[in-house]
Amino acid sequence: MAKRIVIALGGNALGNNLAEQMIAVKHTAKAIADLVEEGYEIILSHGNGPQVGMINLAMGEVHKSNPDTCVIPMSVCVAMSQGYIGYDLQNAVREELLNRGIQKSVVTLITQVEVDEKDPAFLHPTKPIGRFMTKEEADLLVKKGYSVMEDVGRGYRRVIASPKPIRIVEIETVKALADAGQVVIASGGGGIPVVAHGNHLSGVGAVIDKDFASCEMAKAVHADCLIILTAVEKVAVNFGKSNEKWLDTLSVAEAEKYIAENQFAPGSMLPKVEAATNFARSKEGRYTLITLLEKAKAGIRGETGTRIKL
């Protein structure tokens, strides 16, 4: 049976706007096609921070220019981001597979992810969305009632609540499509955040972390491996310092020790290491690979990246 991989694609796989995205997805598709060629079953997820911020801003302008229209909620903006990104990504992967003579369907699934309405994350917005801003732009946004945080050295960004994923609502569909041999793009942007009220699912104003959602999806589809593709080849301790050390392997116990020492930056590497350890801990033999997009194939062959295992 083919080994099943869930891949979480980071910001560099998509770029920050449509022009960048159309170029980036071609590059991303090559990395995905390499793994399909190696015989792996692939389920993809992706981030949406820049995109969902842009969509939310645009929807705000629509409402401003015509106050009769309702305000489009953030959950709907996440749904839009899944379509906007999934459309480009599925076409790029489809084309790259066809160019290599591989006949395989690629599909994007609008995916909802259940969260707990009492999750304390709703009271403390931490998820950066939209573009980077200057201090002056950030101050203006704060005056309008938005939450803003500084991303050290990179500028200011709007932040929104990011509750933990509990359950992927469409998980049986994800499994059925993967079992049928299709490349599935699901839980994009961490999934559309919803809370369950009996049979009814209500969208909530949040953006779920895609690494956490990918971890839940990987466990639920019984993946052998979770790959987190980002902008660094390996995870480091003492990152950016003179005694920086890049890690080839990381046990769950070591990762927990380093997390306690604040070795991983919140909002960037910390959620990745937390998601990685959560998946590795879930079953003997499962592991997470964190590496660069371009190094996915070398990483799965054990030639690079950081492998997190029990």
Ligand X SMILES: Nc1ncnc2c1ncn2[C@@H]1O[C@H](COP(=O)(O)OP(=O)(O)O)[C@@H](O)[C@H]1O
Ligand Y SMILES: NC(=O)OP(=O)(O)O
Q: Which residues form the interface with ligand Y (CB under 6 A)?
A: 10-11, 47-49, 189-190, 207, 209-210
Backbone angles phi, psi at 23, to 5 degrees: -80, -45
- What is the C-alpha separation between 275 and 281, in angstroms, rounded? 10
Query: Which of 10, 53, 127, 267 is an active site residue?
Result: 127
Give the list of residues 6+ apart from residue 213 with CB closer than 8 angstroms, or none: 45, 113, 165, 168, 187, 190, 191
Is residue 239 part of the contact set for ligand X (CB under 6 A)?
yes
In sequence order, what DSSP letters do the residues of 141-165 get, joined into one string? HHHTT--EEEETTTEEEEEE--PPP
8 A C-beta contact, residue 157 and residue 129: yes
Of 52, 264, 274, 295, the one binding ligand X by CB under 6 A: 264
Nearer to ligand Y, 272 or 309 (CB): 272
Structure tokens that stand for 83 in this block: 């379509």
Nearer to ligand X, 48 or 112 (CB): 48
- Please identify, among the stretches 36-44, 80-88, 173-181, 232-240, the one whose residues bind ligand X according to the rule CB under 6 A: 232-240
Note if 127 is an active site residue: yes
x/- mask, ligand X, residues 178-207, rule CB under 6 A, reads ------------------------------
Note if 278 is an active site residue: no
- What is the C-alpha separation between 102 and 111, in angstroms, rounded? 26
The CB-of-68 to ligand X minimum distance in angstroms stands at 37
Query: Which of 210, 234, 295, 309 is an active site residue?
Result: 210
Is residue 86 part of the contact set for ligand X (CB under 6 A)?
no
Note if 11 is an active site residue: yes
Of 18, 98, 176, 231, the one binding ligand X by CB under 6 A: 231
> Which of these, 143, 265, 162, 261, lies nearest to 207 by C-alpha position?
162
Is residue 304 part of the contact set for ligand X (CB under 6 A)?
no
Nearer to ligand X, 11 or 165 (CB): 11
The binder of 239, among ligand Y, ligand X, none, by C-beta within 5 to 8 A per type, is ligand X
- Closest-CB residue for ligand X? 10
In sequence order, what DSSP letters do the residues of 238-265 get, joined into one string? STTSTT-EEESEEEHHHHHHHHHTT-S-
Give the list of residues 6+ apart from residue 210 with CB closer than 8 angstroms, or none: 8, 9, 45, 46, 47, 48, 187, 188, 189, 190
Note if 295 is an active site residue: no
Note if 17 is an active site residue: no
Is residue 47 part of the contact set for ligand X (CB under 6 A)?
yes
How many residues are listed for the chain in this entry?
Answer: 310
Q: Which residues bind ligand X (CB under 6 A)?
A: 10-12, 47, 230-232, 235-236, 239, 263-265, 268-269
| Catalytic residue positions, numbered | 11-12, 127, 210, 272
